[in-house]
């Protein structure tokens, strides 16, 4: 397929007994974790200068949807290892991009597809890696890697064609995501508008996914604003509600944003997803904490407490809201609405009085199941019944239902 760019170290074709074919051979590479674990593989995609790429290593268990994962801005600063061995099978296509470019630092796979096939495909994943300057490593025992991360937690890593010692030093030096504001790297610079729904929503872009904007755009005209867009400016836009997007990194590092949310609460209905949910929690006064290895997959069972039903959800987070720290009384009294059935982590909260709610997982899917799409419906209802002065006449409601 794609040959390695010039300058890539070529492995020798060796003497008798070495099974090699320089035309298709990928350069051997290593993945080294901050704790010293080493994994063998071969380099894919572009080779970075010095042959070293770094990031915080996390795994994702989805069977399909690699393109959505790779382009999800929430992975900024991270290297994504896929547990499913065959990645790239159906190629890539523009419709499945969650952001104009990937923000993650690299991909780790067991087997990168060399014959992608799909009527939707416009190219191969490997082409995409080259185009996006996203390095990767293939041939890795990703199951061993996942077990390691499961036990020892997400950690810094380095991978590439450099010497093991160099990679190790780079992995140890990698700061990880704790305490870092990665949102500033991924948020929009300018304000722009998407969607054509009858309502008006201001969406804070902390690293927003396209699928999320599509879901919102179906019910509202959405003004996407930068992560530090002031609360009063947001309210000046006269929205029916404010949406807090997903995004990368540690919510505790985002005091400014939590402050903005806090200012908005009570003035306008608020809906947060993922990082947005964590910021909502923080604005309500709750603490957040880092999970050992996070939730990254498309198959997590979540119980919706009001109906008792279970929904299968798409998840991608390393941090969570601490249940014990949620205010239980007063205007900010917040109830837990959803919990993860695997480990009991809070997956959803609602503050009735302030007309705000958030979920930790991804109801917009992309990738993942559609079980929780009703939440956008709930948001719409909240927008309609919100604190804003628009009178909720029958006519008005009908107009809205037409969406």
Partner 1 sequence: MPRRSDIETILVIGSGPIVIGQACEFDYSGSQACRVLRAEGYRVVLANSNPATIMTDPELADRTYIEPLDAGVLAAIVERERPDALLPTLGGQTGLNLAMALEGEGVLDRFGVELIGANAQAITTAEDRRRFSEAMGEIGLEVPPSGFASSLEEAMAVGEAVGYPIMVRPSFILGGAGTGTAKDRAELARVAAEGLAASPVSRVLIERSIAGWKEFELEVMRDRADNCVVVCSIENFDPMGVHTGDSITVAPAQTLSDVEYQAMRDDAFACIRRVGVETGGSNIQFAVDPRTGRRLVIEMNPRVSRSSALASKATGFPIAKIAARLAVGYTLDEIANDITGATPASFEPTIDYVVTKIPRWAFEKLPGSVERLGTRMQSVGEVMAIGRTFCESLQKAIRSLEQGRFGLNADPAEAAYELLEDSELVERACEPTPQRVFQMEAALRRGVSPESLAAATGVDPWFVGQLQRISAARLRLEALGRAGTEVERLDRRSWRELKRHGFSDAQVAYLLSRGRQGEDPAGPVADGAAEGPVDGPVDGPANGPVDGALDEARARAARLRAGVRPTFKTVDTCGAEFAASTPYHYATYEDEDEVRRSERPRVMILGSGPNRIGQGIEFDYCCVHASMALREAGYETVMVNCNPETVSTDYDTSDRLYFEPLTAEDVANVIESELRAGEHSPAGVAPLAGVIVSLGGQTPLKLAHSVDPALVLGTAPASIDLAEDRERWNALCETLRIPQPPGGAASTVNEALAVAAKIGYPVLVRPSYVLGGRAMEIVYDDERLEEVFRALEGSLRSEGGVSSQRPVLIDRFLEDAVEVDVDSVRDAAGEVFVAGIMEHVEEAGVHSGDSACALPPQTLAPSVVAQLEEHTRSIAASLGVVGLLNVQFAVKDSVAYVLEANPRASRTVPFVAKATGIPLAKVAARVMMGATLAELREERLLRPRSNGDWVSVKEAVLPFDRFPGVDSLLGPEMRSTGEVMGIARSFGLAFAKSQIAAGTRLPSSGTVFLSLADRDKASGLGAARGFADLGLELAATSGTAAYLESNGVKVSTVVGKVGEVGAADAVELISSGRVQLVVNTPRGRGPRADGLHIRSTASLHQVPCLTTVAAARAAAAGIADWRRHGLSVISLQEVHGEEAHRPESEVHGEAAHRPDSEVHGEAAHRPDSEVHGGAAHRPGDEVRGA
**Closer to partner 1 at the Cβ: 227 or 273?**
273
Q: Which stretch binds partner 1 (CB under 8 A): 65-73, 258-266, 272-280, 389-397?
A: 65-73
Distance CA(99)–CA(71), nearest Å, equals 5
What secondary structure does DSSP assign to 29-85, as a single string?
EEEEETTS-EEEEEEESPPPGGG-EEEEEEEE--SS-HHHHHT-GGGTTEEEEESSS
Tell me, residue by residue from 361 to 380, as one string, x for binding to partner 1 by CB under 8 A and - for no binding.
----xxxxxx----------
Compose the 333-362 pattern: x for residues touching partner 1 by CB under 8 A, - for all others.
--------xx--------------------
136/115 Cα distance (integer angstroms) = 18
Picking from 74, 70, 61, the residue whose alpha carbon sits closest to that of residue 362 is 74
- Cβ atoms of residues 106 and 82 within 8 Å: no
Stretch that binds partner 1, among 157-165, 221-229, 236-244, 303-311 (CB under 8 A): 303-311
Q: Is 3 among the residues that bind partner 1 (CB under 8 A)?
A: no
Closest contact distance (angstroms) between CB of 302 and partner 1 is 9
Q: Are 304 and 275 in contact (CB under 8 A)?
A: no
Q: CB nearer to partner 1: give 110 or 317.
A: 110
Q: Does residue 157 have an active-site annotation? A: no
Nearer to partner 1, 101 or 143 (CB): 143
Nearest distance in Å: CB 262, partner 1: 34
What distance lies between CA 68 and its chain's CA centroid?
9
296 labelled catalytic: no
Q: Is 274 considered catalytic here? A: yes
- Give the total of residues touching partner 1 (CB under 8 A): 62
How many C-beta atoms lie closer than 10 Å to residue 173's C-beta?
11
Q: What is the DSSP string of 205-222?
A: -SS--HHHHHHHHTTEEE
Out of 32, 34, 53, 90, the only residue in the binding site for partner 1 (CB under 8 A) is 90
3-state secondary structure (DSSP) of residue 113: coil
Task: Report how far residue 295's alpha carbon sits from residue 204's, in angstroms, rounded to the nearest whole number.
Answer: 23
Question: Which residues would be at the binding site for partner 1 (CB under 8 A)?
Answer: 14, 16-21, 24, 39-40, 59, 61-65, 67-68, 83-86, 89-90, 93, 95-96, 110-111, 113-120, 141-144, 146-147, 150, 297-301, 303, 308-310, 312, 341-342, 365-370
């Amino acid at each position: 397929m794609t040959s390695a760019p010039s300058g890539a170290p070529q492995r020798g074709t060796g003497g008798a007994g070495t099974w090699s074919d320089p035309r298709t051979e990928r350069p051997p590479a290593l993945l080294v974790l901050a704790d010293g674990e080493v994994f063998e593989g071969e380099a894919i995609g572009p080779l970075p200068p010095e042959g070293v790429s770094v990031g915080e290593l996390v795994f994702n268990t989805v069977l399909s949807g690699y393109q959505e994962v790779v382009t999800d801005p929430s992975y900024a600063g991270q290297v994504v290892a896929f547990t499913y061995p065959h990645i790239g099978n159906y190629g890539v296509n523009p419709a499945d991009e969650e952001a104009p470019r990937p923000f993650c630092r690299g991909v780790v796979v067991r087997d990168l597809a060399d014959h992608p096939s799909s009527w939707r495909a416009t190219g191969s994943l490997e082409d995409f890696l080259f185009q996006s300057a996203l390095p990767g490593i293939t041939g890795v025992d990703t199951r061993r890697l996942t077990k390691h991360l499961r036990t020892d937690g997400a950690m810094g890593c380095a991978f590439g064609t450099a010497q093991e010692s160099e990679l190790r030093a780079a992995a140890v030096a990698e700061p990880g995501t704790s305490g870092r504001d990665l949102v500033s790297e991924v948020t929009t610079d300018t304000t722009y508008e998407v969607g054509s729904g009858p309502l008006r929503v201001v969406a804070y872009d902390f690293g927003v996914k396209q699928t999320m904007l599509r879901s919102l755009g179906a019910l509202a005209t959405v003004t996407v604003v930068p992560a530090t867009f002031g609360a009063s400016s947001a309210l000046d836009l006269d929205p029916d509600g404010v949406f807090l997007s997903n995004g990368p990194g540690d919510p505790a590092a985002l005091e400014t944003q939590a402050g903005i949310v806090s200012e908005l609460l009570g003035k306008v209905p608020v809906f947060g997803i993922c990082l947005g949910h964590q910021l909502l929690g923080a604005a309500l006064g709750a603490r957040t904490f880092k999970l050992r290895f996070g939730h990254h997959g498309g198959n997590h069972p979540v119980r919706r407490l009001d109906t008792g039903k279970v929904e299968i959800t798409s998840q991608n987070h390393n941090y969570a809201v601490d249940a014990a720290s949620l205010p239980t009384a007063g205007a900010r009294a917040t109830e837990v609405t959803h919990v993860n059935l695997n480990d009991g982590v809070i997956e959803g909260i609602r503050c009735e009085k302030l007309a705000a709610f958030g979920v930790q997982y991804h109801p917009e899917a992309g990738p993942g199941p559609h079980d929780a799409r009703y939440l956008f419906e709930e948001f719409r209802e909240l927008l309609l019944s919100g604190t804003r002065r628009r009178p909720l006449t029958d006519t008005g409601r009908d107009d809205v239902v037409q969406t």
